[in-house]
Amino acid sequence: MKYVDEFRDGEVAKSLAGAIGREAKPSRNYSFMEFCGGHTHAISRHGVGDLLPANVRMIHGPGCPVCVLPIGRIDLAIHLAMERGVILCTYGDTLRVPASAGLSLLKAKARGADIRLVYSTMDTLRIAREHPRREVVFLAIGFETTTPPTALAILQAQQEGLKNFSVLCNHVLTPSAITHILESPEVRQYGTVPLDGFIGPAHVSTVIGSRPYEYFAEEYRKPVVIAGFEPLDVMQAVRMLVRQVNEGRAEVENEFTRAVTRDGNLKAQSLVSEVFELRRSFEWRGLGEVPYSALRVRAGFAEFDAERRYHLSYVAVPDNKACECGAILRGIKKPRECNIFGSVCTPENPMGSCMVSPEGACAAHYTYGRYKDFPAEVSMTSEANA
Amino acid sequence: MSGVRRNYVRPLDFEQGVIDMSHGSGGRAMAQLIEELFAAAFANEYLAQGNDGALLPVPAGRMVIATDAHVVTPLFFPGGDIGCLSIHGTINDVAVMGARPLWIAASFILEEGFPLGELKRIVDSMAAAAREAGVPVVTGDTKVVEQGNADGVFITTTGVGVVPDDVLLSGDRARPGDAILLSGTLGDHGMAIMSQRENLSFDAPIISDTAALHGLIAAMLATGAEIRVLRDPTRGGLATTLNEIARQSGVGMLLEESEIPVKPVVAAACEFLGLDPLYVANEGKLAAICARSDVERLLAAMRDHPLGRDAAMVGTVHDDAHHFVQMKTSFGGRRIVDWLTGEQFPRIC
């Protein structure tokens, strides 16, 4: 497949792995966090971890939009669909996020709620046009990548005079989450969690550019390498991070030059700032309240803001007590160090945020890597081509 | 003199007519639908008996019976429709048991208001598939439900076949050291359906692989190779099928990603929608587990058959107390190929 296979080439991977192995100093360990779920997924699906030397460890960060959506926000959406009778539209993965009372959007749908999976905000506008007598709400989730399309939908609805469309906004911001992690006492004060650098987001950075990360590099002395979502991108980024660490540099480097510029997509940014403003604080599943980490609809577009339109008030709901997602998202614990991982908490029956989407740290480890938790009982050298 | 012809019954209107409740009421309208549509299309000696059930000459040996309910949206898709799919699917379930498929029973749930013309297209497609496979539809049933209580047409088919004495295929027979073969490319059916549903168009259209596999299976059995398991990876794809077998046999498996055939257009569509071809449905492919020493002759026989041209050995069976299906990725790493979580395709076959 053109434009994809080139970035998944096993031979190139081997030689890159060799280079990383030579450059990584055996005398020390390297811990890098890939912020994005897209990177986590690529690392797990292609087995990137197997190609890295033992002293290079990847920490799976909180950049999985479905995973960080707290129970209380899903409860609001379920309330709208079940009690207010709206048509609730959202992106696929969101349907499975566990909410209160054993519900999820998928389960609410089975109980008669009109919940529809859409591929874009424009599908939601179409549904609103087709059902002028129904109220249609778009449950908007995601980082900076999915925010511009939501802004565009609101502007278009306003232009068309669409009266039955609104947005339940849960858009969150990448830089605030990274700050939150860097400010956590484990990283900042105690140094119990070694964090030597970040692999910066791919798609998010196409929108916001590489400039916002310069602050982390400078203020926290952490190198950042922005990388594409293909496995070779990840390998190349790891090599660049290892070099920065070895040379004592802390800079923002861009591996994903084929799509990311320093300034990003200015048009998308201006769309977003026209429609949205910063929330003072927002709850992230696993991280808790994070200041200035999310967006809400500006007062000028109040009629398209489901929170105002339906007078919704947010009620926080705590996660399962045994769940270690918070520690896992900050790199303090590994999935298998959580007591309920793989027993009570599985992808079929997720308790915590990291198990919800295949991009979450626990789900990725469960789905792709849990064989590593057991001592090898047989030699698994491949005989498939013998 | 009257212009009315004696005994004249106005024929079904396949241009404009639709199914109404009387077509399921047991009265004349139903008799007419059966006679003019179903009996005419499926015509065979057993159906012609005209009784509530078909009286069949039972051959000696072990019998296999398999049943499959078919609900698919859209009803018509590139490469087939719910009609031929309902024949192929059940023949394949019988055939992967090592059986020669003999007869099929078919039952229809029709939604009030469904166009008779579309029903005729579906039934004609079923009849053609049954004829081509040499497996007649010998008995059937029709029910009509009110509008909104079904999605056009649901078809349940049940197949019966006979297994030769020397054939024993079962999901619990895979052993460490065995080889895993695949008859062709993965994901064609599921992505043909998805691309229709999501209105995706590609330069080369994705065509469903729906096909009856009993001919290919007969050719494989004729080689005398030590085949332990045959299974058609439908819903849930190859990943689900292999996990089922691994659990049933109490073994582990290791796949080689680079050996698994996937058409470029299917791979591209999967990439686009964020799906993994290993989990996408197939309707004309089989996975075979056989003794390592018989791989070459079995592969040769498969590749000689039109439905097995792209056959390949894609992995091996191992000892593993956890029954993991693992894969060496083309990239050079390794990962688990796990059971499907949740439902990627709510209604696909």
Q: Distance between CA A40 and CA A59 in Å, rounded?
A: 9
Alpha helices in chain B (DSSP H): 28-33, 40-42, 82-95, 116-133, 188-197, 214-222, 237-249, 264-273, 295-304
What mean pLDDT is predicted for residues B166-177? 96
- What pLDDT does A382 receive? 41
Nearest CA in chain A to B319: A378
Is domain A71-173+266-309 in CATH 3.40.50.11740, yes or no? yes
- What are the tens digits of pLDDT across the range A113-167? 999 988 889 999 999 999 999 999 999 999 999 999 999 999 999 999 999 999 9
For B173, the 3-state DSSP assignment is: coil
Q: In angstroms, rounded to a whole number, what is the distance separating the alpha carbons of residues B212 and B306?
A: 12
Query: Helices marked H in A248-329 — which ranges?
Result: 266-275, 306-309, 325-329
Yes or no, beta carbons of A46 and B331 under 8 Å apart:
yes
Give the best residue of B335, B336, B340, B347 to mutate against chain A (max A CB count within 10 A). Answer: B335
pLDDT higher than 80, residue B341 = no
**B253 within 8 A of B175, measured Cβ to Cβ:** no
Residue A351 tokens read as 């308790």
CATH code for the domain defined by B21-163: 3.30.1330.10
The one-letter amino acid at B262: V
Count of other CB atoms within 10 angstroms of residue A181: 25
CB contact under 8 A, B332 and A14: yes
A198's CB contacts (< 8 A; 6+ apart) are A32, A33, A34, A35, A61, A178, A213, A216, A222, A223, A224, A225
How many residues appear in chain A?
A: 386
Read off the pLDDT of residues B71-107 as tens digits, 9 standing for 90 and up: 999 999 999 999 999 999 999 999 999 999 999 999 9
Q: CATH topology of A5-65+181-254 equal to that of A71-173+266-309?
A: yes
**CB contact (8 A) between residue B333 and residue A377:** no
Nearest to B331 among A8, A377, A378 (CB): A8
> Contact at 8 Å (CB) between A362 and A338?
yes
- CA of B84 vs chain A CAs: smallest distance (Å): 29
d(CA A124, CA A214): 37
pLDDT (0 to 100) of residue B327:
97
Distances (CA, A) of A251 to A191, A225, B156: 21, 8, 63
Fold of A5-65+181-254: Rossmann fold (3.40.50)
H-helix or E-strand spanning residue A127? helix A121-130
pLDDT of residue A183: 87
Token pair belonging to A200 = 């910066």
Q: What is the pLDDT of residue A4?
A: 79
Question: Where do the structural domains in chain A lie, given as residue ranges?
Answer: 5-65+181-254, 71-173+266-309, 325-368
pLDDT of A385 reads: 40
Residue A88 has which token pair? 């609730």
Which sign, positive or negative, has the C-alpha torsion A205, A208, A214, A215? Answer: negative
Inter-chain touch A4–B320, beta carbons under 8 Å: no
Query: Which residues of A fall within a CB distance of 8 Å from B328?
Result: 47, 382, 384
* Residue B2, pLDDT score: 59
Task: Choose among A47, A347, A378: nearest Cβ to B341.
Answer: A347
pLDDT reported for residue A376? 54
**Phi, psi dihedrals of residue B225, rounded to the nearest 5°:** -65, 150
The pLDDT, as a whole number, for residue A302 is: 97
Q: Is the peptide bond before B74 cis (omega within 30 degrees of 0)?
A: yes
Q: What is the pLDDT of residue B7?
A: 74
pTM: 0.88
Positive/negative CA dihedral, A179, A185, A190, A193 = negative
CATH label, B179-336, candidates 3.90.650.10, 1.20.1250.20, 3.40.718.10, 3.30.70.1050: 3.90.650.10
pLDDT at A241 (0 to 100):
98
No. of H helices and E strands in chain A?
Answer: 15, 13
User: pLDDT at residue B349 above 70?
Assistant: no
What are the pLDDT digits (tens) for A313-327? Answer: 999 998 888 889 888
pLDDT (tens digit, 9 = 90+) per residue, B203-243? 778 999 999 999 999 999 999 999 999 999 999 999 999 99
**Band of pLDDT at residue B34, cut at 50, 70 and 90:** very high
The residues with which B231 forms a beta bridge, in sequence order, are: B287
pLDDT at B197 over 90: no
Angle at B75 between CA B74 and CA B76, to 5 degrees: 90
Residue A190 exposed, middle or buried by CB count within 10 Å (0-12, 13-18, 19+) = exposed
A158 CB-contact burial (10 Å; exposed 0-12 / middle 13-18 / buried 19+) = middle
Percentage of the residues of chain B whose pLDDT score is greater than 90: 83
Q: How many helices (H) and strands (E) does chain B have?
A: 9, 13
**B257: which 2 tokens?**
């990603």
Interface ipTM: 0.82
Residues of A in contact with B322 (CB under 8 A): 371, 374
Would you list the DSSP string of A172-206?
A: B-HHHHHHHHHHSHHHHTS--S---EEEEPSHHHH
Which positions in chain A have a beta carbon within 8 angstroms of at least one beta carbon in chain B?
Answer: 1, 4, 8, 10, 13-14, 17, 44-51, 96, 106, 119, 231, 347-348, 358, 363, 366-371, 374, 377-378, 380, 382-385
Q: Can you say whether residue A300 is alpha, beta or left, with left for phi > 0 and alpha for psi between -120 and 50 degrees?
A: alpha
Chain B residue whose CA is closest to A358: B341
Chain segment A97-124, per-residue pLDDT in tens:
889 988 999 999 999 999 998 888 999 9
pLDDT in tens, chain A (386 residues): 777 788 899 999 999 999 999 999 999 999 999 999 889 989 998 999 999 999 999 998 888 888 889 999 999 999 999 999 999 999 887 888 889 988 999 999 999 999 998 888 999 999 999 999 999 999 999 999 999 999 999 999 999 999 999 999 999 999 999 998 888 887 777 667 788 999 999 999 999 999 999 998 999 999 999 999 999 999 999 999 999 999 999 999 999 999 999 999 999 999 999 999 999 999 998 888 999 999 999 999 999 999 999 999 999 998 888 889 888 887 788 899 999 999 999 988 888 878 888 788 898 899 888 888 876 544 444 444 43
| Chain B residues touching A381 at Cβ < 8 A | none
Residue contact B331–A51, C-beta within 8 A = yes
- Chain A: give the shortest CA distance to residue B314, in Å: 7
CB contact under 8 Å between A367 and B254, yes or no, is: no
